[in-house]
A and B are shown apart, each in its own frame.
Chain A
Amino acid sequence: KAGVTQTPRYLIKTRGQQVTLSCSPISGHRSVSWYQQTPGQGLQFLFEYFSETQRNKGNFPGRFSGRQFSNSRSEMNVSTLELGDSALYLCASSLLGGATNEKLFFGSGTQLSVL
């Protein structure tokens, strides 16, 4: 069974640009969540999607958005990039999400550098 796939693996952008990251969950998983990881703040929850609907959102500005497609693949978008957006962006999938005993499966992440 293929794992969680994130593309691209690395990305370099300049301030003011916008970026779209992609996440393909494990087949059959319907919940996809996104996290930002930086050395200073650690792993921070961005949002979670289930059946094409955003179910939960972390404390990030509106420049961060996402969506989920009918095949459960998800994308996240960051508009008007700032230097502080440089981070490793991770997505995780699970069968249903929201179940306290459910495992999360993470991708390897997209390393975004904003210059």
Chain B
Amino acid sequence: DAKTTQPNSMESNEEEPVHLPCNHSTISGTDYIHWYRQLPSQGPEYVIHGLTSNVNNRMASLAIAEDRKSSTLILHRATLRDAAVYYCILRDQGDDKIIFGKGTRLHILP
């Protein structure tokens, strides 16, 4: 079973920020939180990852709760090209079985 819980779908307007939540209440101290997204007809692509501190890169920001039981992927200014399924996964020390949940399907309205 997936170790994370995400909403099935979300909608946002173009050029507005998007906050995608993820719950991972059973996270262990060494688990990294990773986000991937899958555009139509493509394989998943890496978005961002973090351990404890908030992280920023050119694609997005990752806000991690202080107790690490939840995190939020932030797209600062959504475009139509950001419409995709977003997966939040935990990478467990020494466990190569990456378990993807169903992810969140993000719809962007023009």
Which A residues contact B (CB, under 8 angstroms)? Answer: 4, 31, 33, 35, 42-45, 48, 55-56, 58, 90, 92, 97-98, 100-109
Q: Select which of B43, B87, B91, B99 is within 8 A of A90 by beta carbon.
A: B43
Q: Is the CB of A43 within 8 A of B94?
A: no
Q: Is the CB of A104 within 8 A of B98?
A: yes
Which B residues contact A (CB, under 8 angstroms)? Answer: 30-32, 36, 41-46, 49, 51, 87, 91-103
Q: Is the CB of A106 within 8 A of B92?
A: no
CB distance from B64 to the nearest CB of A (A): 14
A35 to B51, CA, bound (A): 25
Q: Select which of B32, B43, B95, B101 is within 8 A of A42 by beta carbon.
A: B101
Q: Select which of A31, A90, A97 is within 8 A of B44 by beta carbon.
A: A90
